[in-house]
Structure 1
Amino acid sequence: MQEYSRFFIGGEWVEPAGTGTIDVVSPHTEEVIGRVPEGTNADIDRAVAAARQAFDHGPWPRMTPAERGEALGRLSAIYAANTQQMADLVVAEMGSPALFAAFAQSAIPQMVLQYYVDLASSYTWEEERQGMQGPVTVTKEPVGVVAAIYPWNVPQFTLLLKLAPALLAGCTVVAKPSPETPLDAYLLAEWVKEAGIPDGVVNFVPAGREVGAHLVAHPGVDKVSFTGSTLAGRQIGEVCGRQLKRCTLELGGKSAAIILEDADLATTIEGFKLASLMNNGQACAAQTRILAPRSRYDEVADALAAMVGGLAVGDPADFATEVGPLVARRQQERVEDYIRIGQDEGAKLLVGGLDRPHDRGWYVAPTVFGNVTNDMRIAREEIFGPVLALLPYEDEEDAIRIANDSDYGLGGSVWTADVEHGIEVARRVRTGSCGVNLYSIDPNTPFGGFKNSGLGRELGPEGLEAYLEYKSIPRPA
């Protein structure tokens, strides 16, 4: 069992202000595997003060981008040498299957970090423009102290989406890990120290929602970057709006995968293992609405049920496992409630259901509902588990209408033998990303959503610009 008794604040390991602790429980064994102190408002105050001092008076914002990139490069190298250690830790914390975790929970976060290391030298930090009355220097400066609040499902990925560009921009950061997954933050803190990032630039305080709300509203914070539920995002956006505080909100999704008439069904169904069931279905961008043409509906239903019913469900540390447990008992119960809702709404259970695959651990049987209509709750609400809804459509226009008939607009995909036509369809889907014959998130390109899926973008140069303020400096001709 891994136990920590202090927080990483101001470049040091400091005693907590309170006496509370957070137990980290294995979703597979239901046993306690770690313990960390539980942050209080006083701990947040101390962390914000350290980040404020580092931003207002420390060297980090005053370094050149190349110097910051060099420091982040040291962190990236340490990360790259230890990706398996990080992946194993996240598997133990939240039940992500080891094969998925090997890239999504550690390798991809390191790639995100390295992307921003490389961007330091190619990004245009300052430019000269000819104004109406003379030359103008347009420069970009760091926004200030950033509150990074991120979830348990892909903790390192969602943290690095914030931490890497914020640090490159010259910001300082107070990060609040989720109570379910604080251990990986402690490992990263050790690497931050080893990389020689100046004191106070990165601070970690694991805590619950109430303390997170204190961080959001803290007057010493200049920007909030949040990944989580749409409900929590609305609350955060309201606070930031009142304070005119910058915010980036990456929220929920109910993404649609459109199977066109000409799609190769074998490769499409195989693609859904990742696109729809990644991370045990605990992914905001998972393609959980499967849209099939009426002419091929039965064929798709049989193939999808066969694939989902044949998935290996078990110990997430086993590389043969395709679906592991959900993160917590409350999540298991929530997903099972949605399975009941689907049955009550009249959807046809094609595979899965309420029979748990294992007696111990927070497992839910991978489930597919057929004969789903888009007004059903299982088609409109984010379930966040291995539950798929299969919806028939009449023609291509109907498929696009159904895909866009959602409160969300995060991800999506189109599956077809004609890639160029697939791109045309993807352009008409109102989401922040929409893949053709796959779904992926690339560090080079912006990620975020339309509608209730959030505000702003992460990744790519756009992700860096979310942590920059523009300044114009005109002068006489």
Structure 2
Amino acid sequence: MLPQGVNIAHPDKLYIGGEWVLPHSGRQLEMVSPNTEQVVARCAEADEVDMDKAVAAARAAFDTGPWPTLPPAERVAAFRKLVAHLETRVPELAAAWTAQMGGLVSFAGPMHGGGVMGLAQIADFAEAFKFVEQRPSMGAAVGLVVHEPVGVVAAIAPWNGPFGIMANKVAYALLTGCTVIMKPSPETPLEAYIIAEAAEAAGLPPGTVNLVPSHREAADHLVCNHGVDKVSFTGSTLAGKRIAQVCGERIARCTLELGGKSAAIVRDDFPTEAAAQLLTGTLNTLSGQVCAMLSRAIVPRHRHDELAAAIKQEMAKVVIGHSDDPATQLGPLAMKRQLERVEMYIEEGKQTADLVCGGGRPSHLNQGYFIEPTLFANVDNHSRIAQEEIFGPVLCLIPCEDEEDAIRIANESNYGLNGSVLTQDAEAAYQIGRRIRTGGFGQNGLRMDFGLPFGGFKQSGIGREGGPEGLWGYLETKTMLLDALPAGL
């Protein structure tokens, strides 16, 4: 059972060791449409036995090759074949995302087309990377710094951006010479199937890419397997802490891109109506289900009420509807438990702040996981709705006394993933941005470029993905001191 427009050859099987195999348990995962609450797809579910088989296959492919020992140029050439296959399947990727997660059909095509283009850019980074460098040395005639693949990578991706996040992990792993085990979210595994089929079509060696969709228990078993050299995880901070603990016990490597509670500082030189439009439009992105979402707006106290009224007006204009309707601006939340989580925070917020608008389910939609865009005003930055990641279309408006106070409030968070300042002064944006403790910062909105490094400070993560820097997390550095320069270098 697959959504319309999605063609996967073996959804009932796992991809392990270059073969499509039935799951050990015989169980299947069900994907539920957030628009209709109906099952729209099924696929194989991996258990602990399957995880061990996938690790063994990836381990053998890494330890005996040939993938890790291929010249980097040959890996790049093979990876470009994988990308070429994905280019032909952008419409399927878009359809899968809309069906499983409720992503807007108006955004799905450009999002996934851009994601595939980004993979070609990562190949360019790898092509230009110096895997072997000669350095001056006082200890030998020849000093070499060699960058080698870290080993077997468990790539664990979330449900909000399942293709782009998983594909980037696979790209960096493969291009550095690692072998990889894909563990997609149980709610959105179909994109990973398409990636596995692309690896098969590109002729990658058996075991180089493996696919094992599962629930949390089997995923934890995968992370705990000592055959895994590195875990690359994108998801909640709570799950990231567990992965960091497990990896720390055996000194395994990990890259963690975790949660956020990012702030947008509104300066006095930025018009109120423009700020209201920008903040409301940003909140509509993936129904607020973005780790880097600007979910706290910090505004001078004398402008607070005026901005709250303007945002209320903008939120009233938002078109809420099914994600497959091109006119929809705000689609559903991805699943029932996410809707319940957002509703819990809204009830919490009513106790500590002023509910200006939203907070309920749209009256014209009696089915699906829909919630109105919601604004809380006069929010205390110490409250739960200001400190905890809600992951929904809920905006907290926080008053400040002046710019120094705004910077203090923005930094008063356990997270540090993203941030913004709304200003017409680029110099002021730079100076403020340098003082905000986040891995990313943009002038005038939620601005992201995955061709540049992406990641967080504090509890928003460890390491960086994106840009040439993304290669570093999948490499080990070796120093070699020799009596002469080897042939071919």
Partner of 1:247: 254
Partner of 2:287: 280
2:238 is paired with a residue of what secondary structure? helix
The CA distance in 2 between the partners of 1:269 and 1:166, in whole Å, is 41
Counterpart residue identity of residue 223, structure 2: V
1:288 is paired with a residue of what secondary structure? strand
The aligned runs of 1:386-465 (5 Å cut-off) are 386-465=393-472
8 Å Cα contact 1:72/1:113 also seen in 2: no
Counterpart selection for 2:132 from 126, 133, 136 = 126
Does 2:21 correspond to 1:14? yes
Partner of 1:146: 153
Does 2:349 correspond to 1:342? yes
8 Å Cα contact 1:54/1:200 also seen in 2: yes
Counterpart residue identity of residue 303, structure 1: A
Deviation at 1:351, TM superposition (A): 1.2
The CA distance in 2 between the partners of 1:120 and 1:365, in whole Å, is 44
Counterpart selection for 1:215 from 222, 236, 248 = 222
Q: What does the per-residue CA deviation read over 1:234-282, in whole Å, with 9 as the maximum and x for residues that have no partner?
A: 1110010001100011110000011111013344333334543320111
The CA distance in 2 between the partners of 1:143 and 1:359, in whole Å, is 50
8 Å Cα contact 2:273/2:307 also seen in 1: no
The CA distance in 1 between the partners of 2:207 and 2:76, in whole Å, is 17
Unaligned runs of 5+ in 2: 3-9, 485-489
Alpha carbons of structure 1 residues 111 and 267: separation in structure 2 relative to 1, 3 Å:
farther
Counterpart residue identity of residue 341, structure 1: E
Counterpart selection for 1:110 from 111, 116, 122 = 116
Counterpart residue identity of residue 206, structure 2: D
1:92 is paired with a residue of what secondary structure? helix
The aligned runs of 1:40-55 (5 Å cut-off) are 40-55=47-62
Q: Compute the TM-score of the two structures, normalised by the length of structure 2.
A: 0.94
Does 2:222 correspond to 1:183? no
Counterpart residue identity of residue 114, structure 2: I
Counterpart selection for 2:69 from 46, 62, 78 = 62
2:231 is paired with a residue of what secondary structure? strand
8 Å Cα contact 1:148/1:175 also seen in 2: yes
Counterpart selection for 1:331 from 325, 335, 338 = 338
Partner of 2:5: none
Partner of 1:232: 239
1:413 is paired with a residue of what secondary structure? strand
Counterpart residue identity of residue 299, structure 1: E
Counterpart selection for 1:195 from 190, 202, 206 = 202
8 Å Cα contact 1:51/1:145 also seen in 2: yes
Unaligned runs of 5+ in 1: none
Partner of 2:7: none
The CA distance in 2 between the partners of 1:234 and 1:64, in whole Å, is 36
Deviation at 1:63, TM superposition (A): 1.2
1:85 is paired with a residue of what secondary structure? helix
8 Å Cα contact 1:335/1:385 also seen in 2: yes
Counterpart selection for 1:305 from 289, 312, 317 = 312
Partner of 1:270: 277
2:410 is paired with a residue of what secondary structure? helix
Deviation at 1:321, TM superposition (A): 1.1
Counterpart selection for 2:357 from 334, 337, 351 = 351
State the Cα RMSD in Å. 1.4
The aligned runs of 1:317-328 (5 Å cut-off) are 317-328=324-335
Does 2:27 correspond to 1:27? no
Structure 1 range deviating more: 258-267 or 7-16: 258-267
Alpha carbons of structure 1 residues 361 and 220: separation in structure 2 relative to 1, 3 Å:
same
> Between Structure 1 and Structure 2, how many residues are aligned?
475
8 Å Cα contact 2:264/2:445 also seen in 1: no
